[in-house]
Structure 1
């Protein structure tokens, strides 16, 4: 199924990408993806995208997704649709990207304030693209649960995708089209392919590359993070799909240089510290409780704010290769690549004890594994995994006093989301200190990078066999 060679000339060809996501953090990969599109494209080619092509990622975080415009302007796609991560920076940031994009955005099931989402910026539910002497009708849809998957899309309403596509197909059949294609960010397109009569579904959301036929419809996905470019060729009435390996593609040096310039301009390539002993960022380091990387992050929160306690959940870090040698701002932002502000809140000792009990994420609503645990600074905890209870809790060396008020530094995400730490909320916030990852970078720059484990979280009854083996380099 996978190939690197160029396909022979055909009467109609579709080139499709999706879920580019953090590939922008590797400018050469984006340069080769753009170069491969240019290499395969001719006047009878339609270039499409199926969402999550503006983020997430470090560069996306610091540019509000606008780094994707470099790729869009280089490739000049014919259409793109929305994915859940395209809303990572809120609908206003996405609307700005849509407004400045060269391609039309096509989505039939997204609405805002009673109107089609981004209609004022040129988004449309379906369109017809001419490729040589062929007319290709294209309908776009995104996952109907996008607003649940990504709370930053909460102001957008997503309707049933199959009904939206059926409406689009009916309209396109009156447009004298030769082929009808759906660009979909649904992940699983099985039901869609069974229910609607189209030639091809070009998918996204699921990062596994795919080619299959469902009731006569070709259903395919390119896979995630810009590893493959999907080609669909029409030779006769039966379309065929091929995945081209992006690393084998020619390099577009202009876009590679442009993305590197963006990194330089954002200060991401600045060396902010040197690490003697590698700081591990694997599954256990991120999610088991105290670790050097966890202490680094929450110590930075407390250092920046002066709060008595720093707090972050076990899911608040991203796994990546160990930090070693010269560490850049890019490396540190990659550990916590989230655009949430660092805030300080005040709660009494009773609520603090409840919060520290919830640091054991086994109590979380989504049923996380019992060995998951949060990270703290300024506090010392002893957690009994056998009894599933907090045995001891100290702040600045003293037991937590239920009648004393305490300040906690954490991110606004945990304040707004009560699934993990329900003992505090937005009304408890007293100050904001800017983007949380900026505090981590500043801390490293000012104090150095030599975090240590100091026993602040002790779990004497945690059985080693209950915790998976260290599993780097698998993704989070």
Structure 2
């Protein structure tokens, strides 16, 4: 009897002890939607994504059944299309507010209207634009980080902008700003956030391009304690994310072709992350969010009078596709440089393929079409420059061929033959002007856009050459050229072609 009593007493004591222990709760689960590099592609299109109204519909459908939802944007948002550039991003801020974005990091193109305008857009958005590594006089110009309390969890979110912004927007836009190395900034910040939060997330515009130094993979590798990096800049689609150590990196491609989704579950000290994407094809049957559709319609109506003016026509499709203009000659690149040559009377024209942002289909051409192709508001400068610097510039522009590069040169006035298999820096076979080899010792008049003239896209060889003329905006020059010509049909004529020695 005593034995049975002791057994029962032992069971009772164990039960009391169990009931007295802290109860381990169910896992906290959060859904995180993310997108990047939309470049103001607000509407569905053959070369674009699902459109922001469908993207918003997915998010709001989830939020209607789940209060534990966060939405993050990894940058290059406010600039790129007519609907954005004519009002310097104000339209996109309204749309993002309508979607319900919770935070974003600035992309390099979000500085395209200048740093002062970015700060104004930060005031116009209902959410913070986060950047811990962008300083002026030693202090951040934007909010470095913020916190969200979701599902009984404290979520710390910080932002990082790419230091490549210093040459991937016009230098005047970032004058006086210091872009700290993302690793250095995060090493100082993340341990502090880790002490205050259950989960640490970075919204970063860095990319995973192995040719870049400042990447999200490097950040994850060198800074422990980051659970999730929501990335942009390299336009990469990571369908299930990319693990670098204990950090998950996600990126949703470009132009709202995908909506990224991360499921975050925390139970005790264990954090589990699962990444996926919702594709444009999956969005085919979804009804667009009427609230966002209404904002887009209202904005389009307000600018339609400015953009709908027909200026001429094209008998062929004008090719401005990203993968083509950043890796070779296209008929649209030739049309643009021919227009600049006509307007300036320069010896040589060079413009960067990364500045050409869209194609124009066969048929009528409107002002809006041209602004969509050339959205950056660049103007044309002529400089007196040595032939040796022209040759160095061309070598720089073709050094990644056949890989795409925003600096790839589109030219007029010269014919360039290069060996794309040769060692970078030694690829030029011939450069001729009026049938004669370009003389490294001779001085030529070069026309280029003000972005490149100031050293943008790392065309540093242009910066010291004296300015001899200032001209209209590149979009205005192209509009006037098309108006004067009436109907255009430019061809790829071999002014940038490959060969062998």
Change (3 A) 1:96 1:173: same
User: 2:221 aligned with 1:190, yes or no?
Assistant: no
In structure 2, what is the equivalent of residue 375 of structure 1?
Answer: 411
DSSP 3-state at the match of 2:37? coil
Contact 2:28 2:151 survives alignment (8 Å): no
1:204 and 2:232 aligned? yes
Cα displacement string for residues 179-230 of structure 1 (whole angstroms, at most 9, x for unaligned residues)? 3322222324334444322433322233222424444443322332212222
- In structure 2, the residue corresponding to 1:327 is in which secondary structure? strand
Normalising by the residue count of structure 2, what TM-score does the alignment of the two structures yield?
Answer: 0.71
Q: Which runs of 5+ in 1 are unaligned?
A: 1-8, 467-476
CA deviation map 1:4-54 (0-9, x unaligned): xxxxx9742222222222423648601111222222124322222222222
Q: How far does residue 437 in structure 1 lie from its aligned partner after superposition? A: 0.8
For the residue of structure 2 that corresponds to 1:40, the secondary structure is: helix
Decide which of 241, 258, 273 is 1:228's aligned counterpart.
258
- Counting only pairs closer than 5 Å after superposition, residues 73-92 of structure 1 correspond to structure 2 as 73-92=97-116
Which of the numbers 179, 183, 191 marks the counterpart of 1:170?
Answer: 191
Distance 2:445 2:452 in 1: 15
Q: Compared with structure 1, are the counterparts of its residues 187 and 114 closer, same or farther at alpha carbon in structure 2 (3 Å cutoff)?
A: same
Quick one: distance in 1 between partners of 2:459 and 2:189? 41
TM-score by length of 1: 0.74
Alignment of 1:287-298 (within 5 A): 292-298=331-337
Identify which of 244, 253, 259 aligns with 2:296. 259
SS at match of 1:68: helix
- 1:388 is paired with a residue of what secondary structure? strand
Q: What is the root-mean-square deviation of aligned Cα atoms in Å?
A: 4.1
Alpha-carbon separation, structure 2, partners of 1:420 and 1:217: 35
- Give the CA deviation at 1:448: 1.2
| Post-superposition offset of 1:359 | 9.9
Distance apart, 1:98 and its partner CA = 1.1
Contact 2:102–2:127 under 8 Å retained in 1: yes
Matched residue SS, 2:192: helix
CA contact (8 A) 1:162 1:196 kept: no
SS in 1 for 2:487: coil
Contact 1:49–1:79 (CA under 8 A) maintained in structure 2: yes
Q: How many residues align?
A: 432
Equivalent residue in structure 1 for 2:453, among 415, 424, 431: 415
Bigger drift between 145-154 and 68-77 goes to: 145-154
- Give 1:40's aligned residue: 62
> Does structure 1 retain, via aligned residues, the 8 Å contact 2:42–2:296?
yes
The 1:311–1:421 alpha-carbon spacing in structure 2 relative to 1, beyond 3 Å, is farther
Tell me, yes or no, if structure 1 residue 324 matches structure 2 residue 346: no
Which residue pairs with 1:127 in the alignment? 146
8 Å CA contact retained: 1:353, 1:393? no
Task: Structure 2 unaligned segments of length 5 or more: list them.
Answer: 1-26, 209-215, 403-407, 420-427
Q: Measure the CA separation in 2 of the matches of 1:454 and 1:50.
A: 36
The answer (yes or no) to whether the contact 2:72–2:203 under 8 Å persists in 1 is yes
Distance 1:400 1:213 in 2: 49
- Quick one: which of 180, 198, 204 aligns to 1:159? 180
For 1:426-441, list aligned pairs within 5 A: 427-433=466-472, 435-441=473-479
Match of 1:179 in 2: 199
The structural deviation recorded for 1:254 is 3.6
CA distance, structure 2, for counterparts of residue 193 and residue 49 of structure 1: 19
- Matched residues in 1 for 2:247 and 2:164: separation? 24
- Report how far residue 251 of structure 1 moved: 0.7
Distance in 1 between residues matched to 2:308 and 2:226, nearest whole Å: 46
Distance 2:324 2:33 in 1: 40
